[in-house]
Amino acid sequence: MTLKECKKEEKMDKEFQKKFKFEGSINVLTQMMVDPAATEKRGGAKNLPLRRGEILDVIQFTNREQILCRNSQRRYGYVPRAVMLPL
């Protein structure tokens, strides 16, 4: 990884921590897959855009309805638990 890519990732992580009021280090708890039968959704203010069959990193289990996740483009957002499948 180049220095430029490293700085970009650090910046994205800091923006995430500020936007979601997340304190501490960002640790991936597990990975889950978006249900292939789910409808694809565009992202909203704090929601992550969903693509069928996409593998997401789980950052935090926030409540019974949502999970805080990160996708392969290092974008963060909430995802409904109903569309997530364990790997």
**What is the structure's pLDDT at 23?**
85
pTM reported for the whole predicted model: 0.84
**What is the structure's pLDDT at 58?**
93
Nearest CA among 55, 82, 52 for reference residue 67? 82
- DSSP class of residue 3 equals H
**What is the structure's pLDDT at 1?**
66
**What is the structure's pLDDT at 68?**
92
Alpha helices in the chain (DSSP H): 3-19
User: Higher pLDDT residue, 74 or 43?
Assistant: 74
**What is the structure's pLDDT at 55?**
94
d(CA 52, CA 55): 9
Q: What is the pLDDT of residues 11-69, one digit of tens each?
A: 888 888 888 888 888 889 999 999 998 888 887 788 898 888 999 999 999 888 999 99
In CATH, what class is 3-86?
A: mainly beta
